[in-house]
Amino acid sequence: MRKNTRKSGVNAAPACQAAGIDVLAELTALRAMTVPELQEKWQAIFGERAPNASRGNLELRLGYRIQELAHGGLRRETRRTLDALADEVTSGKLGGMVADPRKPAPGTKLVREWGGEEHMVTVLADGFEWQGRRFKSLSVAVRAITGAHWNGWRFFGLDQTGGAR
């Protein structure tokens, strides 16, 4: 068993401020603890009562925190990226960092025969183009093609991950 000799951070709770944390031993000990013992460990590490009595949740969160104290937490740039992603998701304005997983790469040509004609829609970074007209969504482009409301992904036979059926 390899002992980690790196000291934990300044904000670490007393339970993990020893000269070094033997992460493997700490994680192994979690598996052997009862739920009340896990809750006590939570109190020692976080300085507050455990949020619940779910063994799986307590083990998972305690294990992560033990590793975080031993090896350091997320880098500042990673935290910034996660914060930006969270802001984008909660605002409902996706597209900057979070893209629709069904949307093929810009430049992709979607082709379908409709009404005896072949129609080609080009995927753009910020929408779609058909016959020189730009559309914000594929469904609106398909409405221009068919004159009826369609799910654009279904019209072109795209599944949930962007691949053809």
Domain ranges, residue 149: 108-156
SS3 85: helix
Is residue 2 domain-resident? Answer: no
Q: Is the pTM of this model over 0.85?
A: no
Is residue 133 domain-resident? Answer: yes
Identify the pLDDT of residue 5.
39
Identify the pLDDT of residue 90.
83
Q: CA 113, 116, 118, 119: dihedral to nearest 10 degrees?
A: -80
Is residue 82 domain-resident? Answer: no
SS3 156: coil
Could you tell me which of 136, 134, 132, 137 has the C-alpha nearest to residue 156?
Answer: 137
Q: How many CA atoms lie within 13 A of 51 on its CB side?
A: 8
Is residue 45 domain-resident? Answer: yes
Give CA separation, 133 vs 23, 144, 151, 153, in Å: 59, 10, 19, 18
- Residues of the chain with pLDDT below 70 are 1-19, 94-100, 159-165
25-71 residue pLDDT tens: 999 999 999 999 999 999 999 999 999 989 999 999 999 999 999 98
| For the chain, counts of helices (H) and of strands (E) | 6, 4
Is residue 10 domain-resident? Answer: no
Is residue 125 domain-resident? Answer: yes
Number of domains, the chain: 2
Identify the pLDDT of residue 146.
95
